[in-house]
């Protein structure tokens, strides 16, 4: 998988998990903190649930990602590629992703 696609996929998974998991937990136990619905969870999982709970209460937020990687050619020359992505989420139904690539194509 292309390195930038891995970054995008991991961000998409994190956003999806944070936006989907917490509202379901809130319906099961209204008024309860999202991390309270995780029995004997590891500290990492508790922190992740706190972050997801925070994001679920926001009306809008944005994330800016910048990634880069080098490709070594057969001749030994290194070529640098990269991109910048900005994700903007506005509830209830708006998601915008802007991509600016630095791959040599104009």
What does the alpha-carbon distance between residue 59 and residue 52 come to, in Å, rounded to a whole number? 13
30 pLDDT more than 60: no
pLDDT band at 24 (very low <50, low <70, confident <90, very high): very low
102 pLDDT more than 70: yes
- Percent of the chain with pLDDT strictly greater than 90: 45
pLDDT band at 38 (very low <50, low <70, confident <90, very high): very low
Tell me if 67 sits within 8 A of 100, measured CB to CB.
Answer: no
* Mean pLDDT computed over every residue of the chain: 77
66 pLDDT more than 90: yes
Report the length, in residues, of the chain: 106
Taken in order 32, 34, 35, 38, the sign of the CA dihedral is positive
Tell me if 82 sits within 8 A of 91, measured CB to CB.
Answer: no
């Amino acid at each position: 998988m292309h390195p930038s696609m891995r970054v995008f996929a991991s961000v998409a998974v994190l956003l999806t998990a944070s936006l989907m998991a917490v509202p379901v937990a809130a319906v099961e136990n209204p008024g309860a903190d999202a991390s309270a619905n995780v029995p004997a969870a590891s500290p990492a999982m508790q922190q992740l649930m706190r972050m997801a709970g925070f994001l679920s209460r926001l009306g809008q937020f944005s994330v800016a990602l910048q990634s880069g990687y080098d490709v070594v050619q057969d001749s030994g020359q290194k070529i640098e590629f990269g991109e910048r992505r900005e994700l903007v989420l506005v509830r209830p139904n708006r998601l915008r992703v802007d991509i600016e690539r630095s791959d040599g194509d104009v």
